[in-house]
Amino acid sequence: MGVLAEEAVFEGRLGYAKYRLDELDVANLYCKATTIEGGILYGKYEYIAQETKIVPSDTGSVCKQATHFAPVAGAARDEEEIEELQEKTKKMIQTLDEYLIANPQACA
């Protein structure tokens, strides 16, 4: 696909991020996007790819997400930073979930 988007982020050391949309399958509720530039890479990762899939469940739906970190050659893997990024992503998804539950017309 190769669609690029830039997002302004003003919190902490992140600064901004530039994303590439790699795959979008609306019928199967799947998306893969890759962060290719910005403070979120901390100069330690070539890219960070995120895959998101929504699957039905008995109580509604479940959001499954996988994140792939590609370290720059010679860079040490920092588990604390990775966990911090994962927690921020989880918080963002929870915030979105709460908003959509409170505002179902937003998806109508």
pLDDT, tens digit, 9 for 90 and up, residues 73-100: 988 777 887 788 788 878 888 888 888 8
Give the global pTM.
0.71
Q: What is the pLDDT of residues 45-77, one digit of tens each?
A: 899 999 999 998 888 888 898 989 898 998 877
Burial class of residue 51, CB neighbours in 10 A (0-12, 13-18, 19+): middle
Return phi, psi of residue 74, to 5°: 85, -5
Which domains occur in the chain, in start order? 3-77 (3.30.530.20)
The answer to whether the CB of 31 falls within 8 A of the CB of 42 is no
Res 34 pLDDT > 90:
yes
